[in-house]
Amino acid sequence: MNSTYRFILQPYKGVATRHTCPACHKKRCFSRYIDTEKQISFPDDVGRCDHEQSCGYHLTPKDYFERNPLAKPIHSDCPTPMTRRAEPTERRKPSLIESKTVSQTLHSYHLNNLYLFLRSKFGAEEAERLIGAYRVGTSKHWPGSCVFWQTDINGSVRTGKVMLYDAETGKRIKQPFNHVTWVHSLLKLPDYNLRQCFFGEHLLPMNRDKPVAIVESEKTAIVASYYL
């Protein structure tokens, strides 16, 4: 069945075909996507982590082409890039991050590059309002990094995505590696049942009379909410 798809996960042919995950940084657990026609070479972060419950990182060729439309092949008879879905697992309640852990990050914004970028564009008052509304934290994992807490509609925190931005340009730091990881991975919480929710979902009950837009990234959601 997989032979009908042009872009597939690299088949296992020894440890050389399994790499370090760019999110959880565990070794020999990351499968990269390959082009069966050998015309496109994907960046090293296009792939899937084997630790679906504890990490959940998965960047598909479709996601890559949406972010980089110029890289998409113009003429192709192949189906839309697809991936093999994981076998369904027993549905358990999602694991949650303790509120104490979250509250420990909701300060020190003078060390938070995302906040500094927002402040340079919108001023300190608006930057603090946006950061506060979306409950963005400050992480010590990388100097200047932030935490996008995924708070669901009930106010429970499913996980947090740690990312590093440039304070001046607001762009993600991707060199010498893609600076993104997850709080539940950093805390090494055992048997963590990750079930993500929309970032900013906790704002829905307070904004029932407003339209809802779904965008690709957390930073886009924050910036768009200022203008829209």
Answer whether residue 85 is part of any domain: no
Question: What are the pLDDT digits (tens) for 11-50?
Answer: 988 888 999 988 888 888 999 999 988 888 899 999 999 8
Determine the pLDDT at residue 90. 53
Whether residues 126 and 172 fall in one domain = yes
- Please determine, for residue 216, whether its predicted confidence score (pLDDT) is greater than 80: yes
Domain span at 110: 99-227
Name the band, by pLDDT with cuts 50, 70 and 90, for residue 77: very low
Q: Is the pTM of this model over 0.75?
A: no
Determine the pLDDT at residue 134. 96
CA angle at residue 57 from 52 to 88, to 5 degrees?
30
Answer whether residue 57 is part of any domain: yes
Question: What are the pLDDT digits (tens) for 88-116?
Answer: 445 688 999 999 999 999 999 999 999 99
Whether residues 132 and 62 fall in one domain = no
Report yes or no: 34 and 43 within 8 Å, Cβ to Cβ: no
φ and ψ at 176, to 5 degrees?
-80, 0
Answer whether residue 109 is part of any domain: yes
Please state, in angstroms and as integers, the Cα–Cα distance from residue 135 to each residue in 44, 149, 209, following that order.
Answer: 31, 7, 21
Question: What are the pLDDT digits (tens) for 120-152?
Answer: 999 999 999 999 999 999 999 999 999 999 999
Whether residues 63 and 141 fall in one domain = no
